[in-house]
Amino acid sequence: MYIVPEAMIADLVSREASFEAVEQVFAAMAAKDAYNFPVVREAIGHEDALYGFKGGFDRVGGALGLKAGGYWPHNLEKRGLINHQSTVFLFDPDTGKVRAMVGGNLLTALRTAAASSVSIKHLARADAKVMGMVGAGHQATFQLRAALEQRSFEKVIGWNYHPEMLPNIEKVAN
């Protein structure tokens, strides 16, 4: 079994590779060759955390796996850690044997951004000039970078519950 720690992910997975993988899986899902399992998500009654599992199978890509993790809303203020924490487990679809345990925090951010940018590529008008962003937290910078790779937006309009966080996306937009 391979163990790939979070610290290695940035050197192994690019935004471009994430985009291509997500686009391929979306196509496989549309062709009924891949699917997600029902999500399990629960409040654990500790640290106000939510914890869960998201899994799926891609027959075409031969990928079987799940992400275990969740949201710990006090991590940043108490521990200096990001609030979302996750680990990805990959399995051999022929045997069920575990193939890998992979740090999932950056993978989650890249996958989420890739899913949005795939939708921009296939659904947004080619001449779109304005990008709207709701949220300016940790994930927003990933989302905006991915969006800007799909269209040449001239203007980004952002909103966040905590307006003092808007400079996070301003740095990416400029």
Q: Are 126 and 93 in contact (CB under 8 A)?
A: no
Q: Does the annotation count 67 as an active-site position?
A: yes
d(C-alpha 10, C-alpha 110), whole Å: 10
- Residue 122's pLDDT is 97
- Residue 116's pLDDT is 96
- Residue 78's pLDDT is 97
- Residue 174's pLDDT is 83
- Residue 147's pLDDT is 96
d(C-alpha 19, C-alpha 104), whole Å: 16
Q: Are 70 and 104 in contact (CB under 8 A)?
A: no
- Residue 36's pLDDT is 97
d(C-alpha 141, C-alpha 135), whole Å: 10
Under CATH, domain 2-123 is a member of which superfamily?
ornithine cyclodeaminase, domain 1 (3.30.1780.10)
Q: Structure tokens of 109?
A: 């951010």
- Residue 168's pLDDT is 93
Name the active-site residue from 32, 67, 97, 155. 67
- Ordered mean pLDDT values, 10 residues apiece, the chain (174 residues): 98 97 97 98 98 97 97 96 96 98 98 97 96 94 96 96 95 90
